[in-house]
Amino acid sequence: MTEAKSVAVIGSLNIDYFTRVGSLPAPGETVCSDSLNLFRGGKGANQAIAASRQGSEIIFIGAVGNDEHGKKYLKALEKEGIDIAHIDSVKGNTGAAFITVDRSGENMIVISSGANSSLTREHIKAKTKQISSAGAVLGQFEVPISSILEAARIANQNEIPVIINPSPVEKSFPWQEIRTDYLLVNEYEASEVLGFEPWNKELSLVRQRLHELRVENLIITRGGDDTLVYNRGDEVLNISTLPVLPIDTVGAGDAFAGCFAARISNGESLEDALAAANCAGALTTLGAGAQNPIPDRERVDQHLEHLAQSQ
Ligand code: RIB
């Protein structure tokens, strides 16, 4: 087996305040909940943990506050085997996410960025050596866009695959300035980034738009439905997912992204990496919170084998 390459993750760390309600509140409405759970979350940390559990070494660049939450978070990441040398501890609060989930599993998330907003372009530049040694660079949009752009530039210069999960969507992101090898989106994000619903357009128009945005592979996750891939090929790829009965979908997209990055950095084919990522995403919906239920490599492989045998 070849030695696993590292994944550089540039992203957020949050404390998730998680409540369940019957129905989500409408604007101006107050809804009571009888539950409150605190979990560690943040798209960056969730994705870093997902890639780490697939066996990748992680270069995690981010920031926590110098509060109790931040200190405990760093200890937990160390326990997970993630190097915390590139996570800054800055004055102020660790990021927080206020998550409300209704009885159908639909959720609403409000983020208070806290320390995540301190991650600057200069901070990333100072990590050029570490980023240049990675097998893949993975970023999301819960940290300043300038830091994601800088990391992508470094990766582009070094021919390292750039994987971007543009969540929460940022309309003004200058896609043309970088080459994105893999753009990981859900259906809503796909239409926001492209400006139209790709599944309702001719393939040639989708390809033209991807060319304009300098995106090589557009990967659209669709909950329990097949993941779609649009690229320079003549067909849209459909990669099936594991059928599950979700109890909490928060973090499923992050498990998908982290697992995908780990597998791509390891030299696996696009199809194999996506089959594994679909599996990791689906399994993460079977437990509460974003990080605890993220599966390890062995569990994903067992499910992939099982799926292959049943086909
Ligand atoms: O993707 C799930 C994550 O989004 C949560 O952990 C929360 O912190 C928000 O960032």
Q: What is the pLDDT along the chain (311 residues), one digit of tens a residue?
A: 455 689 999 999 999 999 999 999 999 999 999 999 999 999 999 999 999 999 999 999 999 999 999 999 999 999 999 999 999 999 999 999 999 999 887 889 999 999 999 999 999 999 999 999 999 999 999 999 999 999 999 999 999 999 999 999 999 999 999 999 999 999 999 999 999 999 999 999 999 999 999 999 999 999 999 999 999 888 999 999 999 998 888 999 999 999 999 999 999 999 999 999 999 999 999 998 999 999 999 999 999 999 888 87
Domain positions in the chain are 7-13+43-94+116-310
Provide residues with CB under 6 Å of ligand 1: 12, 14, 16, 41-43, 46, 97, 109, 111, 142, 250-251, 253-254, 290
**Site of tokens 């509060």:** 67
Going by their DSSP bridges, the two strands 7-10 and 136-140 should be labelled as parallel
Task: Select which of 16, 181, 248, 254 is catalytic.
Answer: 254
| CA of 99, closest atom in ligand 1 | 7
pLDDT of amino acid 3: 58
Pocket perturbation via mutation, ligand 1, pick of 9, 12, 15, 16 by most ligand atoms within 8 A of CB: 16
User: Which residues neighbour 29 within 8 Å (Cβ) at sequence distance 6 or greater?
Assistant: none
Q: How many whole angstroms separate alpha carbon 166 and alpha carbon 37? A: 26
User: Which residues neighbour 180 within 8 Å (Cβ) at sequence distance 6 or greater?
Assistant: 152, 162, 163, 164, 213, 214, 215, 216
Q: Over the stretch 74-125, which tens digit does the pLDDT of each residue have?
A: 999 999 999 999 999 999 999 999 999 998 878 899 999 999 999 999 999 9
CA-nearest of 84, 13, 50 to 263 is: 50
Rounded to two decimals, what is the model's pTM? Answer: 0.97
Q: Check: CB of residue 286 under 8 Å from CB of residue 250.
A: no
Q: Is 248 a catalytic residue?
A: no
Q: What class does CATH assign to 7-13+43-94+116-310?
A: alpha beta
How far apart are the CA of 54 and the centre of ligand 1, in A? Answer: 20
| CA of 250, closest atom in ligand 1 | 2
Tell me how far apart the 2 most distant CA atoms of the chain are, in Å. Answer: 57
pLDDT of amino acid 308: 87
pLDDT of amino acid 307: 87
Q: How many whole angstroms separate alpha carbon 150 and alpha carbon 148? A: 5
